[in-house]
Structure 1
Amino acid sequence: MLTHTGGGLQGSQAKAIVTPPPGFNLHQDKLDGYLFFVPDSWLPVTTSGNDIFYRNPRNVNENLFVDVSSPSSSNYSTVEDLGPPEQAAKRTLEQYLEELMSTRIGVRRTGEILSADKRVGPDGKEYYDIQMRVRSYASRNQLAAYPGDRQASQELEWERRYLTVLGAANKRLYQFRLQTADNTFENAADKLLSIAQSFRCKEVVT
């Protein structure tokens, strides 16, 4: 079982035992205050630059990571501070497209929001579940003299599905992001959705 240590959970949360289903490990970061289930075959990547990053060694398109906002620059009471789910989803999609922006000539990225919902987790906290699809188009003729010529020759390069869970605790915003290829999502949808919805963020004692 994979567990990060440091800090402590408050009150009854510290005594709660979270047991992953068969085939999964529990990843728990007690310092930053979050946990989730991860398939026991997925591997941690320690050089990603993220708070935590896992990848599926059998599928290079599947990975997940958690991002936590800086305690010095955020003041979130609940996830609803982001506005309704649809508004938070739009902002999240804009963030992803900005991150995925390419400096390659003739490359274009587009995205669409597939769903944005609010739910109450087993811990009583509110979370936003967001599904998005992002596509990358690349030109077959990157050396074309005119942008219109490059755009006319663009072909689909890749298409990804993103499952994002947003939550708030410790005055910080938590973002759980799971990525997979869109054309294989349906075959593993139940597993991937259960991974995403296992994410919880918790108050910690500093």
Structure 2
Amino acid sequence: MLNRRGALAGVALTAAGLYCSPAKAIVIPPPGFSLHQDKLDGYLFFVPENWLPVTTSGNDIFYRNPRNVNENLFVDVSSPSSSNFSTVEDLGPPEEAAKRTLNQYLEELMSTRIGVRRTGEILSADKRTGPDGKEYYDIQVRVRSYASRNQLAAYPGDRAASQELEWERRYLTVLGAANKRLYQFRLQTADNTFETGADKLLNIAQSFRCKEVVV
């Protein structure tokens, strides 16, 4: 079930023109946003007009907010030769998918620095039906990084005792399936600034949709 904020985001997107009927070929982004559409892999989403594409990230597509170094987004699509997804529900219920998503973030953020510890928690995991009739999972997780002030301490216990919070991030993830592939839209922001821009960030995330590609 979508929470109230998620429902309001959906209303905003409907008014913006994303939730048009399938017969309409044109998707119109709301003021201040551009439409990013990948016709080859079959996905689209809205991105703020002032966000910049980063071509050196190694990702298929990556955008960052030039005014906030902690805000960025990208899309990851599974290989067609190694996946066979009919629907996002092939991952199990949203809660199970959220656990896998959190573990994926923690694994990717694992640090080799001495005295660094990363922790995470699932904030929400919901299923919704998009305007295209497809099922999507909306997942929010929070990840915290703690670093020791005394990384050269001889004993791990001493390093752990001096750990303090160095950053705290919120990750919005949307999971969908099309073309037998798993689509993962990922948006990152600093946790302490999320509430001030929550409506905009949720609108960006929930604008994502994947679709079948006609070969």
TM-score range relative to shorter protein: over 0.9
The two structures have a TM-score, normalised by structure 1, of 0.93
1:132-143 equivalences under 5 Å are 132-143=141-152
Partner of 1:159: 168
Partner of 2:10: none
What is the alpha-carbon distance in structure 2 between the residues aligned to residue 182 and residue 67 of structure 1? Answer: 22
Deviation at 1:32, TM superposition (A): 0.2
1:62-101 equivalences under 5 Å are 62-101=71-110
Deviation at 1:190, TM superposition (A): 0.2
Alpha carbons of 1:13 and 1:69: their partners in 2 closer, same or farther (altered >3 Å)?
Answer: farther
Partner of 1:19: 28
What one-letter code is carried by the residue in structure 2 that aligns with 1:35?
Answer: L
What is the alpha-carbon distance in structure 2 between the residues aligned to residue 173 and residue 24 of structure 1? Answer: 25
Q: Select which of 112, 116, 122 maps to 2:121.
A: 112
Could you say what the CA RMSD is over the residues aligned between the two structures, in angstroms?
1.1
**Residues 81-113 of structure 1, C-alpha deviation per residue, up to 9 Å, x if partnerless?**
000000000001000000000000000000000
Partner of 1:34: 43
What is the alpha-carbon distance in structure 2 between the residues aligned to residue 18 and residue 119 of structure 1? Answer: 20
Q: Select which of 153, 176, 194 maps to 2:203.
A: 194
The two structures have a TM-score, normalised by structure 2, of 0.89
**Residues 136-159 of structure 1, C-alpha deviation per residue, up to 9 Å, x if partnerless?**
000000000111110000000100
Deviation at 1:13, TM superposition (A): 5.8
Confirm or deny that 1:175 pairs with 2:184. yes
Partner of 2:53: 44
**Residues 100-138 of structure 1, C-alpha deviation per residue, up to 9 Å, x if partnerless?**
000000000000000000000111100000000000000
What is the alpha-carbon distance in structure 2 between the residues aligned to residue 14 and residue 49 of structure 1? Answer: 35
What one-letter code is carried by the residue in structure 2 that aligns with 1:64?
Answer: L
What is the alpha-carbon distance in structure 1 between the residues aligned to residue 57 and residue 79 of structure 2? Answer: 18
- What secondary structure is seen at the aligned counterpart in 2 of 1:204? coil
What is the alpha-carbon distance in structure 2 between the residues aligned to residue 15 and residue 193 of structure 1? Answer: 24
What one-letter code is carried by the residue in structure 1 that aligns with 2:162?
Answer: S
What is the alpha-carbon distance in structure 1 between the residues aligned to residue 177 and residue 63 of structure 2? Answer: 22
Structure 1: state its 5+ residue gaps: 1-11
What one-letter code is carried by the residue in structure 2 that aligns with 1:18?
Answer: V
What one-letter code is carried by the residue in structure 1 that aligns with 2:212?
Answer: E
Partner of 1:54: 63
What is the alpha-carbon distance in structure 1 between the residues aligned to residue 23 and residue 37 of structure 2? Answer: 12
Number of positions where the alignment pairs a residue of Structure 1 with one of Structure 2: 195
Percent of paired sites with the same residue: 92
